[in-house]
Structure 1
Amino acid sequence: MNYIDNIAFVILLTIGVGFFVKNITKLIRNIKLGKEVDRSDNSNARWKNMAMIALGQSKMVKRPVAGILHIIVYLGFIIINIEVIEIIIDGIFGTHRVLSFLGGFYSFLIASFEILAVLVLVSVTVFWIRRMILKIPRFWNKEMKGFPKNDALYILYFEMVLMSLFLIMNAADNHFQELNVGNPISQYIAPLFHNLSFTAVTAIERTAWWLHIAGILVFLNYLYYSKHLHILLAFPNTYYANLNPKGQFTNLESVTSEVKMMMDPTIDPFAAAPEGAEATVPEKFGASDVADLNWVQLMNAYTCTECGRCTSSCPANITGKELSPRAIMMKTRDRLEEVGENINKNGKFIEDGKQLLSDYITPEEIWACTSCNACVEECPVNIDPLSIIMDLRRYLVMEQSAAPQELNSMMTNIENNGAPWQYNQMDRLNWKNE
């Protein structure tokens, strides 16, 4: 490389990494719009979750075909990109195959990369066939239209191109082929270039090299806009997942405070605030917008892989109800992104007349949920759609009294009779006299 190439590479690298850092900063800010929640307990269990689920892919292999193929792509993508270290060093300093001095270890690394590249190509091809030819139903739900559907295909094509460029780069590298090390795959591609001039082969190798590193930087920055953000967020998401038994719901602190105040005879609920002090506004019960959710729930929305395992296991969805747990997460993320763009534009959030509930997620969807936790159990990265559904329900019930008639009747009976039935307490034992 000459100095112009070095400078061009540094500029490309700086732009790519800089844009990525900018997007990650926005991502962190958006997640922090959520309420605080303490997930610092039981660190041993949390590290174990992260190791087993995010790193070990333990929940992926519950569906063996997709699970094994995903592990191949995951390992291939992570391991092959170790080679980016060498590319960055070569690009900045103008060296070529700078790590080849490692000898046998370098040979082992490149051989592993090439074999994995082929396995990744096979795996993503199978993924494409499953999605576009076999048309597995969970990939074709109504929410998987437009960008969500195309996003999955873009990533598959990206991976196909990146792996192909890696192999072409190795095969067209005369110096690398002459070393005759670490090229179990590229050595069979190299003969395709034997009838070309040295200049032409060098141009092919350099073009593949540049496109490969540019593609990696583009892919890195595409992650923010893609469901494949889970490549980064799966680790914190599994670490901060709820460790409580499934089905155990938390008490609302706002409700607890209200009850304590009602039971304390020394408190005057109608008393005015002391002079000079601001009157406290009661905390909202439940959630109607993304800022009412906690930050882990917002991270869940960004982590969603849109794989559809939750929806394919949801009994409400299976029976034709409107609910799709995957759509709940996608809509939450869409609303969060809209709020984030509002902040970007105005410096702070300016009320836009919209909210998550009703404008994005309808009451019909959340009341269709049976709260069975199938979606939570199935998610390969421990996302919890049910927690969002329950917080939206709480808002409808406790802030708007907008529960279905059957539930309103039951709650009225509990209030009046101390039980969900319409019978007076004095009449409950009348059956004994019959």
Structure 2
Amino acid sequence: MSYLDNILFAIILGLGFAFFAINFKKIIRNIKLGQDINRSDNPSARWKNMAMIALGQSKMVKRPITGILHIIVYIGFVIINLELLEIIIDGLFGTHRVFAFMGGFYDVLIGSFEILAFLVLFSVIVFLIRRNIIKLKRFIHSDLKGWPKSDANYILYFEIVLMSLFLIMNASDYHLQLLGFGHYERAGAFPISQFIEPLFNGMSEITVMMIERAVWWLHITGILIFLNYLYFSKHLHILLAFPNTYFANLKPQGQFNNLESVTKEVKLMMDPNIDPFAAAPVDENAVHSKFGASDVQDLNWVQLLNAYTCTECGRCTSVCPANQTGKKLSPRKIMMDTRDRLEEVGKNIDDNKGIFIPDNKSLLNDYITPEELWACTSCNACVEECPVNIDPLSIIIDMRRYLVMEQSAAPMPLNAMMTNIENNGAPWQYNQQDRLNWKDEQ
């Protein structure tokens, strides 16, 4: 019978990791739909970013209460799941607490896991209260309704269940250890579950063992379900925060990139050796690239990685001056819309055997409106606030570029200004010959 258990465990484990690998492969495929961009410069600064922001959570603690609670959940969940290694070995080979040979160190480990599990439970309950009872403004915003709101709660419920199963598993195990039943030899320290253990008094040893085994199976199955649920959840940032912070933009905030094609044309215009009236040379092999972005395939792959990494925490929207003054813009919605459209494009590719069939939809207009884009003040507050270095502004700027350079669809005051610059060399409407008259007033 034990061999059947081991085989069943191996099948469940294999299926869990196989489904995760398939879904994660889709994410990588979708991210690669973006335009190429070089983010291999200054690796030392990039590793530092990843260590400080993704691993060290340095930007989270700017809001101390939520920051500390998040660090507890993050560290607790990661460290407790180190126990997953022991569970996998026990499940595959029919052993029980295979690392118990470490003696006192093992006691410290299990004891630490239990304390962290209790702190995670406390933190998650606080998060649930903040979201559903206190109802902080950024959690009841109009862009966080339906699935995004439910998803956040599902994750918190999941964590409560997993941590509770972990403690109940240890409590029932500890009870059987005290009784010296079967192979349940004394191993581990149980500072939290020792208070749950008395609940098993009066039960038969077989009943307690059945509870321990049932909870053990539920715990490992729950972890595998959670792992595969990440694909459908905002909690992908658990995994993607590391590459996202590594590949984040290292340039000073507010420094925009120039389009290579435009830069080349400007340089030709400024070259005194070029005849300004000569026809521009035609490169027959050149392919016209779209100016700016109207759909997800026009964005670069780091921007698409940003979309998948978004935690939907709403910190960006809460500091956005446009949003605070009642404008339609929400940087969080920009990222959520980008991810939703990217998922839609990915599904299109899956349904059509690896080829994208135009669906007469785009990120611009169908998901994000020009009104949202032009409400942005380009202040970089959203970029500064994001705990995992996401850059909503870069997407906004690229989509604005498309509106201006491909559709001439800028608001009327901007179009008038740009026409004046083109004709007069200045934003104001006066004769170009009068541009330097101001110097005569000195």
TM category, shorter:
over 0.9
Paired residues, number = 428
Q: Deviations over 1:218-259 (max 9, x none)?
A: 000000110000000000100110000000001011222344
RMSD value, Cα? 1.7
Q: Given residue 372 of structure 1, which amino acid in structure 2 is its aligned partner? A: C
Contact 1:240/1:296 (8 A) holds in 2: yes
- Out of 200, 222, 232, the residue aligned to residue 193 of structure 1 is 200
1:233 to 2:240 alignment: yes
In structure 2, the CA distance between the partners of 1:272 and 1:46, relative to structure 1 (3 Å rule), is closer
What 5-or-longer segments of structure 1 have no aligned partner?
274-278
User: How do residues 176-187 of structure 1 correspond to structure 2 at under 5 angstroms?
Assistant: 176-177=177-178, 179=186, 181-187=188-194
User: How do residues 4-23 of structure 1 correspond to structure 2 at under 5 angstroms?
Assistant: 4-23=4-23
Q: Given residue 335 of structure 2, which amino acid in structure 1 is its aligned partner? A: M
Q: Given residue 233 of structure 1, which amino acid in structure 2 is its aligned partner? A: L
Contact 1:254/1:284 (8 A) holds in 2: no
What 5-or-longer segments of structure 2 have no aligned partner?
181-185
Q: Deviations over 1:272-292 (max 9, x none)?
A: 84xxxxx53311100011011
The equivalent of 1:342 in structure 2 is 348
Whole-Å Cα distance in 1 between the matches of residues 265 and 424 of structure 2? 22
Whole-Å Cα distance in 1 between the matches of residues 143 and 92 of structure 2? 44
Q: Deviations over 1:174-216 (max 9, x none)?
A: 4445626311111111110011111111111011100000000
Q: Deviations over 1:3-41 (max 9, x none)?
A: 111111001000000000011111111101111111111
Q: Deviations over 1:390-432 (max 9, x none)?
A: 0000000000000000000100111111110112234453897
User: How do residues 349-428 of structure 1 correspond to structure 2 at under 5 angstroms?
Assistant: 349-427=356-434
Q: Given residue 364 of structure 1, which amino acid in structure 2 is its aligned partner? A: E
Whole-Å Cα distance in 2 between the matches of residues 350 and 166 of structure 1? 47
Whole-Å Cα distance in 2 between the matches of residues 281 and 268 of structure 1? 19
The equivalent of 1:32 in structure 2 is 32
Q: Deviations over 1:46-82 (max 9, x none)?
A: 1111111000000000001100000000000000000
Counterpart secondary structure, 1:395: helix
In structure 2, the CA distance between the partners of 1:272 and 1:395, relative to structure 1 (3 Å rule), is closer
Q: Given residue 130 of structure 1, which amino acid in structure 2 is its aligned partner? A: R
Whole-Å Cα distance in 2 between the matches of residues 305 and 271 of structure 1? 46
Counterpart secondary structure, 1:400: coil
In structure 2, the CA distance between the partners of 1:46 and 1:176, relative to structure 1 (3 Å rule), is farther
The equivalent of 1:257 in structure 2 is 264
Contact 2:100/2:188 (8 A) holds in 1: no
In structure 2, the CA distance between the partners of 1:47 and 1:393, relative to structure 1 (3 Å rule), is same
Q: Given residue 5 of structure 2, which amino acid in structure 1 is its aligned partner? A: D
Q: Given residue 387 of structure 1, which amino acid in structure 2 is its aligned partner? A: S
User: How do residues 5-404 of structure 1 correspond to structure 2 at under 5 angstroms?
Assistant: 5-173=5-173, 174-177=175-178, 179=186, 181-260=188-267, 264-265=274-275, 268-269=279-280, 271=282, 273=284, 279-346=285-352, 347-404=354-411
Contact 2:103/2:187 (8 A) holds in 1: no
Q: Deviations over 1:278-333 (max 9, x none)?
A: x5331110001101110000000000000000000000000000000000000000
In structure 2, the CA distance between the partners of 1:320 and 1:64, relative to structure 1 (3 Å rule), is same
Contact 1:375/1:386 (8 A) holds in 2: yes
Q: Given residue 318 of structure 1, which amino acid in structure 2 is its aligned partner? A: Q
The equivalent of 1:276 in structure 2 is none
Whole-Å Cα distance in 1 between the matches of residues 258 and 275 of structure 2? 23
In structure 2, the CA distance between the partners of 1:25 and 1:180, relative to structure 1 (3 Å rule), is closer
Q: Given residue 326 of structure 2, which amino acid in structure 1 is its aligned partner? A: G
Percent of residue pairs bearing the same amino acid type: 71
Whole-Å Cα distance in 2 between the matches of residues 135 and 118 of structure 1? 24
In structure 2, the CA distance between the partners of 1:394 and 1:271, relative to structure 1 (3 Å rule), is closer
Structure 1 segments, 4+ long, off by >2 Å, are 174-178, 256-273, 425-433
Kindly state the Cα deviation for residue 135 of structure 1 after the two structures are TM-superposed.
0.2
Q: Report the TM-score when normalising by structure 2.
A: 0.94
